[in-house]
Each structure stands twice: as structure tokens, then as C-alpha cells.
Amino acid sequence: MSAPSLDLTQQNSQYQLAVSFRFLLSLYAIVPLCVLIQLIDQYGFASQLRDMLPSSPSHFVLFQLLFGTPHIIASNLLLISHPEYLHTYKAKLLGMTVFIIAFFGIGSLFIPYTVLYIITACWTVYHVLKQQHGIAKSVCQLSGKAFYLQLWLSISAGIFIYLGVFMKNSLSPEQAQWVLWTAAGLSLALLLSTAIVQHTVPSRFGKWFLWANTLLILGSFYVYAQQYYFLAILMPRLVHDISAYSFYVTHDVNRHAKGADTGLYRLAQSWGVPVAVVLPVLSFVLTYLLQAYGDDLVNLITQTLFATQIYKAVTLGLIGYLALMHYYTEAFVWAKGSPLRRYIYFAK
């Protein structure tokens, strides 16, 4: 979910569920919790937890089963399970599919992998943080200039933190130090900017949201600098993913609770499955099946039919495609006036 500016006063009595800004703000409690865990581990247990936690991107498989991939699959399921949404956006979906195949597929034959990885990393961080700042915009009521200053300082710092975590095994010591200090400078700039612009936020609740987004970056940077890489990624991921699911579930409840009108939700209703759990449960199940068996199944088929294998056809190819489509579509499907937005309203 990548939220544009949201209307805090938008309400509709016919809907059963609202997106709660207080709930979304409460998710940021993961930041002080992770910092507290880091401090206790470092000073109380000689960093034993840090040594036990994943320290390499290749060790984040379980993390991807819990965070990241499930909400990406949920987002795509939400679109494809509603024919009118597909009809509304079919031109954009086809156009983006062609672009992904051309740029990331054919382009990978000519563009170095590192370049493609950095482009994807930047898009990932932009998507994650644009959502959080978009959600906060309506309660912070920042001017356009202040909003984009906060947004781009957060994104810039986030990109270097992300690269420092996921590319640490590919960086020389000098490069790793440069990435660390760049992230530090951008984080400091964000801190100073927040201290200045907070005076323009009219409400205490808005100030909490403003500082929550800033502390999300500062907390991630701090634990990254202390080499608690898992915690550095966990904080923004948990906040982002649960925020996204709150929109998906709210949409589904408000659209289907009184009577499912598409195949997937009619099937779930006939089995007595609450509409609120359809997307979360199905997305986690599909994530597990794709991660655990997808590549082997594709290779079994291609080996049998063509005597060849495709490297990570599902875990890299299919899931990568769904992720890029998610980043793209979430930028407009929740915009004001969209067919999905009709089923969303907000409460403080």
C-alpha cells in the first residue's frame, strides 16, 4: 500500500470498518522495542543475540515468509480477484508488464546485476517510506515543501541503510564505511529538519506521527550501525506491511461483509471463512508454497519437457515481478476517486 494524502475526516456510516490512525501510529512501538532489545543484548549479554540473528541477506528466507512477500501477494490478489479493478487498470498493468520484461528481463542481458539491484532497492525504499509519509500527511498537515523535504531525506537515508544491510557482503571496507557515514549524515539532516518543521504541525497527534516516521529511520540507522541488521530491516518492514494489511482488510470487510460479489470471496463465504482473514491467510499460504516448492516444481516441468532448468523462476522471477507490479500499482489504486478507495474510510 502506498498512500497519497489521506482525508482524516472521510467517513461513511454504511461501512463496518475504518482504518484507525491510532492503530497505525501504535505500530511504531516496534522502534523503541528493537532499540531496547539491542541495548539489553549489547550491554547485558555481550551481543549474543546479534550473533544468533541473521547477518547475511541469504539468511533472510524466513523473514521473507513473514514480511515483505505476503503483503505483495495480498496486494496482487486484491486486484486480480476483482474483475472490475482489472478492467479499470488493464492498460496500466499491461504496460508495466511489458516494461518489466523489457527492462529487468531483456535488460539484464546488458545491464550489470548490481545496477539492477540498486534500482530495485531504491524503488523498494521509496515505496515503503512513501506509504508511511503519505499516511501521516493528513494528520501532520505539513506544507508541500516541508512534506517533500521530510520524505526525500527519509528515502535517501533509507536507501543507504538498505544498501548497507543487503550489500554488505559485496562492499569493500572503504565502501561500507562510506555508505555508513552517508546514512549517518542523511539521518542527522532528517533529525534537524524534523525539529524545525514540527513547529508547523498544528496538533500533538500530528507531531507524534511526524516524529514516528523520523524515529523509524533513526532507529533503523542506529541498529544498522551496531550491526543488528535483522532489526534494522524488521522495523520498517513490520510497520509498512501491517499498515498495508489494515487497508486490504478494511477494503474487503466494507465491500464483502454484507454479501461477497466475486468468486474468491463467495467461495470463502460458502466455507464460513470470515472475509477479514481471506487475504491475510491466503497470502501467507501462497508465500510459503511459492518459496518452498515453486522453483522445484518449475524445474521439474522444464527438465521433463525441455531437459533444462530455470534459475529461481518463482522465488526470483515470479515473486520479483509481483513485487515490481505491487510497487507500481499501489501508487495509484488507493488514490482518491479510485474504485478501491470507495471502501476505505478513516478514524482517528
Query: pLDDT digits over 162-200, tens only?
Result: 999 988 888 899 999 999 999 999 999 999 999 999 999
Q: Where does the chain show beta strands of DSSP type E?
A: 19-20, 346-347
d(CA 251, CA 16): 10
Q: Say if residue 9's pLDDT is above 50.
A: no
Q: Closest by alpha carbon to 278, among 68, 82, 77?
A: 77
Neighbours of 144 (CB within 10 A): 8
Work out the pLDDT band at 56, boundaries 50, 70, 90.
low
d(CA 265, CA 56): 39
Q: Say if residue 3's pLDDT is above 60.
A: no
| Neighbouring residues of 143: CB distance < 8 A, sequence distance ≥ 6 | 200
Question: For 280-292, what is each residue's pLDDT tens digit?
Answer: 999 999 999 998 8
Q: Say if residue 278's pLDDT is above 90.
A: yes
What is residue 261's predicted lDDT score, i.e. its pLDDT? 84
Cell of 302: 522444464
What is residue 26's predicted lDDT score, i.e. its pLDDT? 96
Question: For 77-88, what is each residue's pLDDT tens digit?
Answer: 999 999 999 999
Cell of 138: 493528513
Cell of 89: 487498470
User: What average pLDDT is seen over the chain?
Assistant: 89
What is residue 268's predicted lDDT score, i.e. its pLDDT? 87
d(CA 86, CA 263): 14
What is residue 8's predicted lDDT score, i.e. its pLDDT? 47
Cα torsion angle, 222, 227, 231, 235, sign: positive
DSSP secondary structure letter of residue 111? S
Q: How much is the average pLDDT of 142-165?
A: 95
DSSP secondary structure letter of residue 20? E
What is residue 76's predicted lDDT score, i.e. its pLDDT? 95
Q: How much is the average pLDDT of 299-317?
A: 81
Report which of residues 292 and 326 the model is more confident about: 326
The answer to whether residues 192 and 251 touch, using CB atoms and an 8 Å cutoff, is no
d(CA 337, CA 339): 7
What is residue 65's predicted lDDT score, i.e. its pLDDT? 67
What is residue 161's predicted lDDT score, i.e. its pLDDT? 96
Q: How much is the average pLDDT of 323-330?
A: 94
DSSP 31-75: HHHHHHHHHHHHHHSTTHHHHHS--SGGG-HHHHHHTTHHHHHHH
Report which of residues 310 and 48 the model is more confident about: 48
For the chain, what percentages of helix, strand and coil (3-state, to nearest 5) are there?
75, 0, 20
| Neighbouring residues of 248: CB distance < 8 A, sequence distance ≥ 6 | 1, 71, 74, 75, 78, 279, 280
Bridge partner residues of 347 (DSSP):
20
| Cα-based torsion angle of the residue sequence 249, 253, 254, 257 in order, rounded to the nearest 10 degrees | 170
